[in-house]
Amino acid sequence: MYFVSSNRHKYEEFRRMLWDLVEVRWVQVDYLEPQSMDLTEVAVTSALWLERYLPKPFFLEDAGLFIHALGGFPGPFSSYAFRKLGNEGILKLMEGVDDRKAEFVSVIALHTGKEVVTFEGAVPGTIAREIRGGGWGFDPIFVPEGSNGLTFGELGSEKDRFSHRGLSTRKLRSFLLARGNAIV
């Protein structure tokens, strides 16, 4: 099954979470994502646009960090915001802000060759007051609920158990298992 992304980190996470079920092949394709505040709309529209260029089945993911005190920013613009602001910039925007609630959301769009099916995972949490741990993207500043105060960046491979991407991937796994090898 093909995974479409320019992000190697995402590919490695999906490969790790699906290795025992399907072989995930990485297709590095840059494509213009539609701009929308709705991650599902972005993922589905992207899959439908890419269908004429890629073998099926393939899947892609759109994800975003939604920070309550910033009106949901960066949301679907998380990749761009990370490139421009980084974790330091987000923490600067959050200086003096007591409401640190945030949510990480992942939407996977699977194109089976016949239809596009979506799987969503959302994890509530908070924004840390400082960068902690490694990882990539906003991992060092997002503290998921139930992690004993650790950021995604401090959780290591345990992150998959808590993450938005882990949740959406478990839903994808269930879908694939229910259909056997019918689509791969």
Q: Please tell me which residue in 62, 98, 139, 160 is annotated as part of the active site.
A: 62
CA distances from 110 to 6, 55, 84, 131 (A): 17, 12, 29, 33
Q: Among this protein's residues, is 62 annotated catalytic?
A: yes
DSSP state of 180: T
* Cβ within 8 Å of residue 3, ≥6 positions away: 10, 11, 14, 15, 24, 25, 26, 27, 58, 59, 60
Count of CB atoms situated within 10 Å of the CB of 157: 8
Which of 56, 181, 184, 33 lies closest to 107, judged by CA?
33
Q: What are phi and psi of 163, to 5 degrees?
A: -75, 155
Q: How many CB atoms lie within 10 A of CB 108?
A: 25
Largest CA-CA distance found in the chain, in angstroms, rounded: 53
**Tokens 């799987």, located at residue:** 119
Catalytic center residues: 62
